[in-house]
Amino acid sequence: MPGPLRVAKALRRTALQAVPTVLIIVILNFFLLRLAPGDAAEVMAGEAGSATAETLAALRNRFGLDLPVLQQLADYLWTLAHFSLGDSPRYNMPVAALIGQRLPNTLALMALALGLALVIGIALGALMASFVGRLPDRVLSVLALLFYSIPSFWIGLMLIVLFSVKLGWLPSGGAESIGAGYTGWEAFVDRLRFMVLPGLSLALFYVAIYARLTRGDMLEVRAQDYVRTAQAKGLPPFAVTTRHVLRNALLPVTTMAGIHLGGLMGGAVVVETVYSWPGLGRLAYEAVMGRDFNVLLGILLLSSLLVVAVNALIDLFQAWLDPRIEVR
């Protein structure tokens, strides 16, 4: 089958599988969030301080919170069918516009964290496999175990203490220098300085996973017949490692990277809160505190779509890495 036709078939199959999956996720999330105590009307009435029972009832009626749960679900699905995520009672604006304001910040942070995790993890894994059983392998294995076992919020706090408080090299929170008026390259560098610490905090856990995966897969691939054949043909060790060993060992790493995307979004909730990063994670935290379920449902729906899209891309990328794999 020609390549473009094969890719189109894979994309169509992914889309057909994604629709019922996302629908089930939306319905499950809707009912799970309704199990939480309180609602947006109660929070807003509590913040007002002098709200009466009539005010609370009026707020619930205005936001449709006094309707039966099944009717609320039907209304929400009808809203989704019209390509809308509804309105936020707390922010008094469309959820899509609210998410659109925060999404670029979270995507930039996730891209930086995933890129750092893959580059550093694969490099460390290749180094560990090259020195297997020797001192560098053992030291890096202990380091990977530390990254894996320490919670990201604690790493974030320690990085703030070291690089912001003690050394003063990097900012401890926010997204850019307020009032600096940077433009062009200066604005890019300024923003990158604010992303380094949250990106590292989010990435180090996955660095440990990718390093261990790369090490184990490289050791397994190295024992294959075609690798010994390449060595017998007289290829330099570096060429054998990069072209035949590392390339095939990357298949499970890329699979795990796609699976971890949802985890990155979940980790962003904690990291963005620690660093006051204005992204979706912090918005989700604020929505939980304010019982703004429409915003939470919108963020969860977006996360689901993102994971489905990235896993489809991972399938195509794996087919490129290993032509023996058929895109099904």
Q: Which is higher by pLDDT, 298 or 13?
A: 298
pLDDT at 328 over 50: no
pLDDT at 321 over 70: no
pLDDT at 324 over 70: no
Q: Rounded to a whole number, what is the distance in angstroms from the first to the last CA of the chain?
A: 12
Q: Nearest Cα to 328, choosing from 4, 17, 10, 7?
A: 10
Both structure tokens of 215 = 């090490």
Torsion of CA 66, 71, 74, 76, to 10 degrees: 0
pLDDT at 327 over 60: no
Q: Give me the pLDDT at residue 240, please.
A: 83
pTM comes to: 0.76
pLDDT in tens, 147-175: 888 887 888 889 889 998 888 888 888 88
Q: Nearest Cα to 305, choosing from 261, 266, 271?
A: 261
Both structure tokens of 172 = 């401890």
As a whole number, the mean pLDDT across the chain is: 82
Q: Does residue 168 come out as left (phi exceeding 0), alpha (psi in the -120 to 50 range) or beta?
A: left
Q: Which is higher by pLDDT, 15 or 28?
A: 28
Instruction: Give residue 308's identity as a one-letter amino acid code.
Output: V
